[in-house]
C-alpha cells in the first residue's frame, strides 16, 4: 500500500503530436537500416509498398465490431461506436443545394479524432496475419541485426511496406494474405498504385515477381512517409524534392509586394524550415546547402521576379556566424561530425562521445550508473581519475545501487538538453559578436520592417546617393542635424556627435533612464527618427515633396509614443500622456 510520495514513480505525459513525429522518424530510421543491411549483405530481397484503395472509406463496420469484441471491448461501448459511425449521411451539391441524401454503410469519417485509432485496430489484424505466416514458415522477412531479427513489414496508418525474400512462393503467400485481409476488412489493395523493388535482384526476376503480384516493378528510391528510402543522399538529385518545393513556394510569392523585413520573416519562418524533415534523417551535401542558401539570398535582396539587385550585406553577416558556426553555409556541419549516408544510426552513435562530455548522472538508486565508467562524481569518470584501482577491479561494469537515476545537461542552467547549446559547444564559437548593436536593433518594440531598415543603416548599407556614403552617415541620413539635437534636448542631455550610427546604437547611453520604460522609449525614439528621415528623403527624391523640420519632429514623437503604447512595458498608460511628456511616462 502506498503511504509516501516516494512510493510513486513519476511518468511523463507525452503529447500526441510528439508521439506521431517520433513514430514517423523511428519508422524511417528502421526502414533505412533494414534496406542498407540487406544491400551490404549481398542477399536477394524484395520490398513491396502497397496502397490501400480509399483506405478510410472502405473499412467494414461488421469486421471492426468483431475485432473490437475480440480485443475485449464491451457491448455498450461497441454500440456507441456503431452509432457514431452509422449516423453519417452524404449528399450531392447541385447548384449549391444538397440533393439525394445517402446513408453510409461502411468507412470511417475523415477528420474524426477516433478514426486513426479505429483504423489502427483494423490494420493490426493484417500485422497479426503476417506474423502467423512467418511462424508457419510460409513467409520469410528480412533478417537484420546481430540477433538476425526477422522483419516482414512496417506500418504507419495506411502506409504499409513489406520485406520479403525473392522466392515466388513467398510472393504468392503475401498476395493471398492481402486478398483475404481485403475480403474480410474491406481494405483492398490498389495494385495499380503499388510497387515492388528489388535488392541485389536481377531485373528479369523482379519483373516476373511484379507480374505475379499484378503490380509495377520500380527503381529506387521509394517515397515512404514523405522521405526517399533507399536513395543516396550524397547525390544532388536526391534533394530535388526539397529544391522543387522551395521553388514552388517562391513562385507563389512572385506577385506579392514584400518589404525587406517581410522577406526576412518568410525566410526565417518558412524557407529555412522546409529542408528540416529531410535533415532529420539525412546529411545535406555542401553543394545542395549552397544552392538552398543561394535561393534564400537572392530572395532576400531581389525578391522574386524583380530582376537582379545588389546584395547589400555579406551573407555571412546576415546568417550571424555565432548561430550557424564558422562555415559560409549555415546548413554545412562537416566540422562537427562525419555522417554516413548509408547508415544514419552509426553517425548518431559517433556523436555520442561528444554528447556524453556534457552530460552527468544525477544519482538516484544507482542501477543505471556504472561506478567506474560514467560521470557522476567529480569532473572525470572515476576510472580515469584512479586507473590503478580500475586495473585490479574484477567487475568493471558494476553499478552504484528510492529514486531513479537521471541525466543532467551541463551546458544549460536548467539541466535540460537544448540543440542550440550542443551546437555552439561543438562548433566552438562564441554566443554573440560584441561589435554590433544586436539587442538595440532586434529587441526594439517597433515593427519588424523598421528593425530591418535600422539594421541596414547600422551596417551603412542603405541605398542612398553619394552624399550618404560619407564617413559620417548620421549626417547624411538627416536633412537637418537639428532633429538629433532636438531628440537629445528632449532627454535634457548635451551630446557629442558619434562617429557612426552603429557606434551610437552600441553605446550604453539611455536618454530616458535605465528603467525598462526608459530603454524602450529611447530605442523607439532613435529608430523613429531614422525611419522618418528615410521616408522624408525618399519623398523628396521620388515624389518631389518636402516637409519642414517641425512636421518631421511631430511625426517622430507620434511614432515613438505609438510604438511604446503598443508595447507591454507601457501597458495602462494612455497614448496622449506618452505624447505629452516622455520623461514623466518613464517614471
pLDDT single digits (tens) 188-197: 888 888 889 9
- Whether residues 310 and 362 share a domain: the answer is no
For residue 504, name the pLDDT band (cuts at 50, 70, 90): low
Q: Pick the residue with more confidence: 343 or 293? A: 293
- Whether residues 459 and 573 share a domain: the answer is yes
At 342 the pLDDT is 47
At 14 the pLDDT is 43
Tell me the C-alpha distance between 263 and 434, whole Å: 26
For residue 233, name the pLDDT band (cuts at 50, 70, 90): confident
Average pLDDT (64-69) is 90
Cell of 92: 450531392
Q: Are 425 and 409 in contact (CB under 8 A)?
A: no
Would you say residue 331 has pLDDT above 50?
Answer: no
Question: What's phi and psi for 298, nearest 5 deg?
Answer: -65, -40
Cell of 14: 507525452
Would you say residue 20 has pLDDT above 60?
Answer: no
Q: Is 204 part of a structural domain of the chain? A: yes
Across all residues in the chain, what is the average pLDDT?
75
Q: Pick the residue with more confidence: 254 or 41? A: 41
Q: Is 262 part of a structural domain of the chain? A: yes
Q: Pick the residue with more confidence: 580 or 433? A: 580
Coil, strand or helix at 409: strand
Q: Pick the residue with more confidence: 428 or 236? A: 236
- Whether residues 204 and 272 share a domain: the answer is no
- Whether residues 215 and 129 share a domain: the answer is yes
Tell me the C-alpha distance between 275 and 283, whole Å: 11
Structurally, how many domains does the chain consist of? 4
Query: Which of 12-16, 203-207, 261-265 is predicted most confidently?
Result: 203-207
Q: CATH number of the domain that 151 lies in?
A: 3.30.70
Tell me the C-alpha distance between 449 and 453, whole Å: 6
Average pLDDT (214-235) is 83
Q: Are 296 and 272 in contact (CB under 8 A)?
A: yes
DSSP letters spanning 239-272: GHHHHHHHHHHHHHTTT----HHHHHHHHHHTGG
Task: Report which of 274, 339, 277 is spatially closest to residue 21, judged by C-alpha positions.
Answer: 277
- Whether residues 223 and 145 share a domain: the answer is yes
Q: Are 431 and 424 in contact (CB under 8 A)?
A: yes
Q: Are 430 and 322 in contact (CB under 8 A)?
A: yes
For residue 362, name the pLDDT band (cuts at 50, 70, 90): low
For residue 476, name the pLDDT band (cuts at 50, 70, 90): very low
Residue with cell 521509394: 222
Question: What's phi and psi for 111, nearest 5 deg?
Answer: 90, -10
Q: Is 295 part of a structural domain of the chain? A: yes
- Whether residues 219 and 240 share a domain: the answer is no
Domain-terminating residue out of 229, 247, 265: 229
- Whether residues 423 and 545 share a domain: the answer is no
- Whether residues 495 and 544 share a domain: the answer is yes
At 507 the pLDDT is 60
- Whether residues 313 and 204 share a domain: the answer is no
Is the peptide bond between 405 and the residue preceding it cis, with omega within 30 degrees of 0? no
Residues pairing with 98 in the sheet:
93
Task: Report which of 349, 351, 346 is spatially closest to residue 36, judged by C-alpha positions.
Answer: 346
Domain-terminating residue out of 393, 410, 429: 429
Would you say residue 518 has pLDDT above 60?
Answer: yes
Residue with cell 529544391: 243
Helix H or strand E segment including 299:
helix 286-302
> How far is C-alpha 567 from the geometric centre of its chain's CA atoms?
29
At 455 the pLDDT is 81
DSSP letters spanning 105-173: -S---TT-TTHHHHHHHHHHHHHHHHHHHHHTTS---EEETTTTEEE-EEEETTEEEEEE-S-HHHHHH
Question: What's phi and psi for 163, nearest 5 deg?
Answer: -120, 125
Would you say residue 439 has pLDDT above 80?
Answer: no
For residue 303, name the pLDDT band (cuts at 50, 70, 90): low
For residue 42, name the pLDDT band (cuts at 50, 70, 90): confident
- Whether residues 133 and 217 share a domain: the answer is yes
At 375 the pLDDT is 65
First to last CA, the chain: 60
At 454 the pLDDT is 82
Helix H or strand E segment including 49:
strand 45-50
pTM (predicted TM-score):
0.58
Q: Pick the residue with more confidence: 342 or 443? A: 443
At 469 the pLDDT is 47
Task: Report which of 436, 554, 413, 571 is spatially closest to residue 500, judged by C-alpha positions.
Answer: 436
- Cβ-proximal residues to 564 (8 Å cutoff; 6+ apart), any chain: 445, 517, 520, 521, 524, 570, 578, 585
User: In the chain, pLDDT over 70 holds for what percent of residues?
Assistant: 70
- Cβ-proximal residues to 333 (8 Å cutoff; 6+ apart), any chain: 283, 325, 327, 423, 427
Burial 439-460, CB ≥16 within 10 A → b, else e: ebbeebbbbebbbbbbbbbbbb
Q: Is 162 part of a structural domain of the chain? A: yes
Angle at 296 between CA 290 and CA 298, to 5 degrees: 100
Q: Is 129 part of a structural domain of the chain? A: yes
Helix H or strand E segment including 532:
helix 516-542
Question: What's phi and psi for 224, nearest 5 deg?
Answer: -125, 120
User: In the chain, pLDDT over 90 holds for what percent of residues?
Assistant: 1
Tell me the C-alpha distance between 564 and 585, whole Å: 10
Average pLDDT (88-106) is 77
* Sign of the alpha-carbon dihedral angle for 48, 53, 55, 59: negative
Least confident of 12-16, 53-57, 169-173, 239-243: 12-16
Q: Is 190 part of a structural domain of the chain? A: yes
Phi and psi based region of residue 307 (left: phi greater than 0; alpha: psi -120 to 50; beta: remaining) = left
- Cβ-proximal residues to 462 (8 Å cutoff; 6+ apart), any chain: 453, 456, 468, 477, 534
Domain-terminating residue out of 229, 247, 266: 229
Structural domain range at position 225: 16-60+106-229
Tell me the C-alpha distance between 523 and 487, whole Å: 12
- Whether residues 420 and 448 share a domain: the answer is no
Tell me the C-alpha distance between 500 and 175, whole Å: 76
Cell of 128: 497479426
> How far is C-alpha 232 from the geometric centre of its chain's CA atoms?
22
- Residue 437, number of CB atoms within 10 A of its CB: 19
Tens digits of residue pLDDT in 115-171:
888 888 888 999 899 999 888 888 888 887 777 878 888 888 778 888 888 888 888
Would you say residue 487 has pLDDT above 50?
Answer: yes
Would you say residue 62 has pLDDT above 60?
Answer: yes
- Whether residues 468 and 512 share a domain: the answer is yes
At 351 the pLDDT is 67
Amino acid at each position: 500500500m502506498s503511504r509516501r510520495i516516494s512510493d510513486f514513480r513519476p511518468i511523463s505525459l507525452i503529447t500526441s503530436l510528439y508521439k506521431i513525429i517520433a513514430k514517423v522518424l523511428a519508422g524511417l530510421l528502421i526502414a533505412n537500416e533494414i534496406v542498407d543491411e540487406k544491400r551490404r549483405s549481398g542477399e536477394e530481397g524484395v520490398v513491396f509498398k502497397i496502397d490501400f484503395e480509399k483506405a478510410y472509406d472502405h473499412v467494414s463496420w461488421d469486421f471492426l465490431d468483431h475485432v473490437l469484441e475480440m480485443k475485449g471491448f464491451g457491448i455498450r461501448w461497441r454500440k456507441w461506436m456503431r452509432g457514431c459511425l452509422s449516423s453519417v449521411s452524404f449528399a450531392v451539391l447541385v447548384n449549391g443545394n444538397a440533393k439525394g441524401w445517402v446513408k453510409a454503410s461502411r468507412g470511417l469519417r475523415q477528420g474524426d479524432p477516433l478514426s486513426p485509432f479505429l483504423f489502427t485496430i483494423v490494420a493490426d489484424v493484417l500485422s497479426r496475419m503476417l506474423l502467423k505466416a512467418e511462424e508457419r514458415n510460409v513467409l520469410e522477412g528480412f533478417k537484420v541485426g546481430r540477433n538476425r531479427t526477422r522483419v516482414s513489414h512496417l506500418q504507419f496508418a495506411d502506409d504499409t511496406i513489406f520485406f520479403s525474400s525473392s522466392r515466388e512462393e513467398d510472393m504468392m503467400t503475401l498476395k493471398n494474405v492481402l486478398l483475404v485481409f481485403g475480403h474480410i476488412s474491406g481494405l483492398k489493395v490498389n495494385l495499380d498504385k503499388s510497387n515492388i523493388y528489388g535488392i541485389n535482384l536481377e531485373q528479369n526476376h523482379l519483373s516476373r515477381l511484379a507480374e505475379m503480384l499484378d503490380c509495377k516493378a520500380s527503381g529506387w528510391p521509394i517515397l515512404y512517409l514523405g522521405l526517399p528510402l533507399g536513395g543516396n543522399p550524397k547525390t544532388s538529385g536526391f534533394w530535388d524534392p526539397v529544391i522543387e518545393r522551395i521553388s514552388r513556394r517562391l513562385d507563389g510569392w512572385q506577385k506579392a509586394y514584400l518589404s525587406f523585413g517581410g522577406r526576412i520573416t518568410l525566410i526565417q519562418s518558412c524557407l529555412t524550415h522546409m529542408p528540416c524533415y529531410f535533415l532529420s534523417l539525412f546529411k545535406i551535401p555542401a553543394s545542395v546547402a549552397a544552392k538552398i542558401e543561394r535561393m534564400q539570398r537572392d530572395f532576400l535582396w531581389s525578391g522574386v521576379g524583380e530582376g537582379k539587385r545588389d546584395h547589400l550585406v555579406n551573407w555571412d553577416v546576415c546568417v550571424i556566424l555565432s548561430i550557424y558556426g564558422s562555415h559560409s553555409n549555415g546548413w554545412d556541419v562537416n566540422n562537427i561530425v562525419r555522417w554516413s549516408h548509408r547508415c544514419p544510426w552509426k553517425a548518431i552513435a559517433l556523436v555520442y562521445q561528444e554528447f556524453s562530455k556534457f552530460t552527468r548522472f544525477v544519482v538516484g538508486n544507482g542501477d543505471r550508473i556504472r561506478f567506474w565508467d560514467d560521470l557522476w562524481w567529480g569532473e572525470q569518470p572515476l576510472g580515469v581519475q584512479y586507473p590503478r584501482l580500475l586495473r585490479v577491479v574484477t567487475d568493471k561494469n558494476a553499478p552504484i545501487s528510492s529514486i531513479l537515476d537521471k541525466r543532467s545537461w551541463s551546458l544549460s542552467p536548467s539541466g535540460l538538453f537544448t540543440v542550440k547549446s550542443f551546437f555552439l559547444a561543438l562548433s566552438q564559437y562564441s554566443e554573440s559578436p560584441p561589435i554590433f548593436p544586436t539587442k538595440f536593433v532586434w529587441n526594439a518594440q517597433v515593427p519588424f520592417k523598421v528593425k530591418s531598415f535600422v539594421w541596414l543603416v547600422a551596417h551603412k548599407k542603405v541605398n542612398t546617393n553619394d552624399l550618404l556614403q560619407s564617413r559620417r552617415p548620421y549626417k547624411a541620413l538627416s536633412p537637418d542635424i537639428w532633429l538629433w539635437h532636438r531628440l537629445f534636448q528632449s532627454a535634457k542631455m548635451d551630446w557629442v556627435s558619434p562617429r557612426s550610427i552603429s557606434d551610437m546604437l552600441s553605446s550604453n547611453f539611455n536618454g530616458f533612464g535605465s528603467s525598462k520604460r526608459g530603454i524602450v522609449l529611447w530605442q523607439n525614439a532613435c529608430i523613429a527618427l531614422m525611419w522618418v528621415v528615410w521616408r522624408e528623403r525618399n519623398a523628396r527624391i521620388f515624389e518631389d515633396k518636402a516637409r519642414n523640420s517641425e512636421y518631421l519632429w511631430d511625426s517622430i514623437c507620434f511614432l515613438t509614443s505609438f510604438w511604446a503604447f503598443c508595447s507591454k512595458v507601457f501597458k495602462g498608460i494612455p497614448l496622449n500622456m506618452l505624447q505629452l511628456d516622455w520623461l514623466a511616462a518613464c517614471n
